Amino acid sequence: MSSTEAKTAEPARRGRGRPRDTALEGRIKAAALSVLARHGFSGMTLERVCAEAGVTKASFYRRWETPTACVVEAFLEVWNDAEFKDTGAPAADLEVFAHKLIELYTHPQLGACSVALQTEGRVNTEIGAAMTAGSRFRRGRNSGALAEALARMEPPPALPAPVILNVLNGIARNFLSLNWPVSDEELRTLIQSLLAPPGAR
């Protein structure tokens, strides 16, 4: 595991007896995302992050070694909210999940951060490894939850859980990259098609 991955998986170590200030950490993470969205990696400096958050460099360094470590942790933390929740109604649950993906991809800051991190991850192996690890974790968690929901359907869908999730993720990404919106009615029709049993198409 790279050092960036370690930072996204564990809270930063602090001095003995120092209490965790989650509100302050949240403010710094939000500032890091804001700075990255506006300035990209070339303009993401410690000074800008600290000024945006209204904190000192010392406060920042007690939690992260670099602005990059902070923004990667913040981004992956937000994207953990992209979770398929099984309530026993697969079609409705997938619609809620798809709308969450669309919300994240089209968020004015997170959308820009997603593009910046993915682009930087192609040349920065540490960032790339952390982004891949976060994506694999979410995909594994959501595929497992959806697979359990599909197994209870009678008859079960022809498509496996990972394929269904890949399709919905692609639809959500198209909102950002291609500006291809999908109406609620179109989304419901698509989901019904994805859940169709073998031979129904």
Q: Would you kindly state where each structural domain of the chain is located, as residue ranges? A: 3-73, 80-194
What does the DSSP 8-state code read for residue 179? -
Residues 66-93: tens digit of each pLDDT:
999 999 999 999 998 899 999 999 999 9
Whole-angstrom Cα distance, residue 131 to residue 94?
24
pLDDT band (50, 70, 90) for residue 11: very low
Q: Is the peptide bond before 19 cis (omega within 30 degrees of 0)?
A: no
User: Are 132 and 122 a contacting pair, CB within 8 Å?
Assistant: no
Q: Can you give the pLDDT at residue 200?
A: 65
How is 139-173 classified by DSSP, letter by letter? Answer: HHHHHHHHHHHHHTSSSPPSS-HHHHHHHHHHHHH
What is the model's pTM? Answer: 0.79
49-53, 77-81, 136-140: which range is least confident on average? 77-81
66-75, 89-98, 162-171, 192-201: which range is least confident on average? 192-201
CATH architecture of 3-73: Orthogonal Bundle (1.10)
Q: Name the token pair of 25.
A: 């950490």
Q: Name the token pair of 111.
A: 């959308």
pLDDT band (50, 70, 90) for residue 110: confident
Same fold across 3-73 and 80-194: yes
Residues 116-125: tens digit of each pLDDT:
999 999 999 9
Q: Can you give the pLDDT at residue 10?
A: 39
Whole-angstrom Cα distance, residue 57 to residue 65?
10
Whole-angstrom Cα distance, residue 101 to residue 111?
11
Q: Which CATH number fits domain 80-194: 2.40.50.140, 1.10.357.10, 3.90.850.10, 3.20.20.70?
A: 1.10.357.10
Q: What share of the chain is helix, strand, coil (3-state, %, to 5)?
A: 70, 0, 30
Residues 16-42: tens digit of each pLDDT:
445 567 889 999 999 999 999 999 999
Cα angle at 98 between 97 and 100, to 5 degrees? 65
153-159 contacts: CB < 8 A, separation 24 or more? Answer: 153/90, 153/195, 155/197, 155/198, 156/197, 157/194, 157/195, 157/196, 157/197, 158/196, 158/197, 158/198, 158/199, 158/200, 158/201, 159/194, 159/195
